[in-house]
Amino acid sequence: MRLTDLNSGREIGANCLLLEFGGLRIVLDCGMHPKHEGKPSLPKLDLIQGSIDGVILTHCHLDHLGSLPVLLRQHPGSRVYTSAASALFARRLLSNSIQVMKRQREENGNQDLPMYVEQDVERVENALAAVPLANPRKIGRGGEEISLSFHLAGHVAGAVGCMIEHRKKRHFFTGDVHFQAQRTVGAAAFPREPVDTLVMECTRGATASIPGFTRAKEEARLIKAINRVADAGGSILLPAFAFGRMQEILKLLDETAAAGNLADVPIFCSGLGMDLCNYLDEASKKTKQVNFSRKILQELNVLPLSRRYVQPGKNMSEPGIYVLSSGMLVEKTPAWRVAANILDHKENAVFFVGYCDPDTPGGELIGMAPGGEFKFKGLDHTSTLRAEVERFHLSGHADREELIDFAQALAPKDIILTHGDPPARAWMKETLSKLMPATRIHDPEPGVAIEL
Ligand SMILES: [Zn+2]
Ligand SMILES: [Zn+2]
């Protein structure tokens, strides 16, 4: 196998790998960089020489899916192999991505946007081929053939890792992975047997584990904090990705409310997240890869967030729990807009429940001392931080120790690090080199092929 990382930098960015097996070419994931826009947000697709024989989609987060319509416009005949659940989600998330890009164009006049239109998304939908779990699919061309099999990856609804076998060699790709069960998806069910190559994510490579930490304890700490703020009449903003994290939080709130342990205040949600509840419900019924019921929205009496936002700086007109996207408080999103009403008032709180990039408004807020000035560009408003800000570690990504343990179980000849910022990659490389001296550890240079 020849592997070329088409991500534009050594970061989480726009995930995309070109895999070549003799003359057979496969692209694994085709994401959009969340911090760039227009052409710079795409992977290096121009490095793909000639036609491709298939695309593998590990899951539907936009850093893996977001540029797929552009790739298929260039290679219209390709199939996209994915899980049954992801095949249900892809179109909805890509259509939303068009809406976001159109809004960006209106705001900043970037003529490159949107990078694709509904017709391109339709092409993706028609190309999707749902591959059953652990059921090898052969892909071949001109005498070369690979066998592809999917294994549930935890992480988010529909996420899979994959094993590719080619000429008696075995290559395993984790995609984004979580080895512990969440509420909407079970733990990763990966094979733990020797392989030749392991391509591994390392999102949390720079995050030391907290001794005695468990997800259950962290959820209890979050609920206690929500109840404390709600009982004192404050509002709680929970910034959450609309796909996956939001349904996880709603399920936690629902199970807590059913046990009589949640403060009785209204719960508000943004539109895309509520809509995706229906998609997870459908996937739950059709595939058994997801565990979610849309009934949760009724049981919690979740209200859609009004698009008529309160004037920045004024407190929310109705105290409650606001579960809003985006998880990193990206500008112009519902969570960012509502933060302009939350931050100035000391009875309120912002509780982060997922990964937050330090270069986003969410990352800026996490690092801010009380009394700091938080600027809302485009709203002509600056908040003085009086609300409580706290992080809860409910990430959908594996701990670095679990990744190391997994790598040791597979005892590969080569490990390729992906999906991590430079400090995360550095820690993983150093630790793996020490523990597995017989294994070559690669931190791939974007665009440069590695022979495996
Ligand atoms: Zn992901
Ligand atoms: Zn990702």
The CATH number of residue 364's host domain is 3.40.50.10890
Cβ-based neighbours of 103, under 8 Å, separated by 6 or more: 332
Q: How confident is the model at residue 34 (pLDDT cuts 50, 70, 90)?
A: confident
Let me know whether 375 and 233 are in one domain.
yes
Q: Containing domain of residue 357, as a range?
A: 215-391
Ligand closest in space to the Cα of 93: 1
pLDDT at 309 over 90: no
Let me know whether 84 and 135 are in one domain.
yes
347, 366, 391 - which closes a domain: 391
pLDDT, average across residues 398-424: 97
Ligand closest in space to the Cα of 241: 1
pLDDT at 308 over 90: no
Query: How far away, in angstroms, is 266 Cα from ligand 2 center?
Result: 32
Query: How far away, in angstroms, is 270 Cα from ligand 2 center?
Result: 22
pLDDT at 61 over 90: yes
pLDDT number for residue 328: 93
Q: What is the tens place of the pLDDT at every residue in 79-138? A: 999 999 999 999 999 999 999 999 999 989 999 999 999 999 999 999 999 999 989 999
pLDDT number for residue 356: 85
Let me know whether 384 and 255 are in one domain.
yes
pLDDT, average across residues 155-164: 98
pLDDT number for residue 180: 94
391, 417, 438 - which closes a domain: 391
Number of domains in the chain: 2
Let me know whether 406 and 385 are in one domain.
no
pLDDT at 407 over 90: yes
Q: What is the tens place of the pLDDT at every residue in 328-372? A: 999 989 999 999 999 999 999 999 998 888 889 999 999 999 999
Let me know whether 143 and 97 are in one domain.
yes
Asked whether 286 and 88 are in contact (CB, 8 A), the reply is: yes
391, 418, 437 - which closes a domain: 391
The CATH number of residue 141's host domain is 3.60.15.10
Cα separation, 253 vs 257, in Å, equals: 6
Query: How far away, in angstroms, is 59 Cα from ligand 1 center?
Result: 7
Query: How far away, in angstroms, is 63 Cα from ligand 2 center?
Result: 5
pLDDT at 35 over 90: no
Let me know whether 32 and 95 are in one domain.
yes
Let me know whether 269 and 386 are in one domain.
yes
Ligand closest in space to the Cα of 11: 2
* Helix segments in 56-165, DSSP class H: 62-65, 68-74, 84-108, 118-127
pLDDT at 170 over 90: yes
Query: How far away, in angstroms, is 396 Cα from ligand 2 center?
Result: 10
Q: Two tokens at 151?
A: 């294994």
Express as a percent the part of the chain with pLDDT over 90.
Answer: 93
Q: How confident is the model at residue 69 (pLDDT cuts 50, 70, 90)?
A: very high
Let me know whether 126 and 150 are in one domain.
yes
Let me know whether 337 and 434 are in one domain.
no
Let me know whether 276 and 199 are in one domain.
no
Ligand closest in space to the Cα of 153: 1
**Mean pLDDT over all residues of the chain?**
96
pLDDT number for residue 134: 85
Let me know whether 345 and 203 are in one domain.
no
- Residue with tokens 């249900």, as numbered in its chain: 88
First to last CA, the chain: 5
Q: Two tokens at 27?
A: 């692209």
Cβ-based neighbours of 332, under 8 Å, separated by 6 or more: 103, 107, 378
pLDDT number for residue 86: 98
Protein residues placing their CB within 5 Å of the ion ligand 1: 61, 176
Query: How far away, in angstroms, is 301 Cα from ligand 2 center?
Result: 31
Let me know whether 202 and 284 are in one domain.
no
pLDDT number for residue 62: 95
pLDDT number for residue 306: 86
Return the number of other C-beta atoms located less than 10 Å from residue 106's C-beta: 9
pLDDT number for residue 271: 85
Three-class DSSP category at 341: helix
